[in-house]
Amino acid sequence: RLLATQLHADMENIRQARLLERSQLAAMTDALTGLLNRHGWDKAVEAEEARARRYGHPACVMFIDLDRFKQINDEFGHAHGDAVLQRAASVIRNAVRGSDLVARIGGDEFVVLGVECDVAGAEALYQNMLAELKGQGIAASTGLAMRDPRTGLNAAIAAADRMMYAAKVRQHATNKPAPA
């Protein structure tokens, strides 16, 4: 009876640990796309920055902002907009490597962290993602930046965001979709 009681307690502890893991994962996952959310992204960036500092691995950051997303929601409804977000998430996730991190950090903003990715690898990854988006008819403004060991990932994130914003401004100025 003592062994049965102990076994039951152990099983309950395992069940509780699994529930905790699931709730922590849910807290870091975007429910619509299944990608990391802002909280999950922040945690992943923190962990990757520590690894990059420790081992000297290069990394890149890509920002993706869907063009005319508000117009899509206004013209076709939010259910259609959600489907576009899900499709974009799938395209981005499939365009990058399994080791890379992908997050939806805002309404129609996605970000990719290319881990252990040098300049040539980052450019190839970026071009692949652009080609996949274009091939699926998804217009997006994008930005790419490399992690500089002196300034870290947060500076690369800010630089990629600025590049994406500049592409968005150019796209609006010409009133044409940004090249995907």
Catalytic residue among 108, 118, 148, 161: 108
Q: Which amino acid is at 17?
A: A
What is the rounded CA–CA span in Å between residue 108 and residue 126?
18
What is the rounded CA–CA span in Å between residue 53 and residue 148?
10
What is the rounded CA–CA span in Å between residue 27 and residue 21?
10
Q: Catalytic: 74? A: no
Q: What is the CA radius of gyration of the chain?
A: 20
Q: What is the DSSP string of 85-118?
A: HHHHHHHHHHHS-TTSEEEE-SSSEEEEEEET--
Cite the active site residues.
108
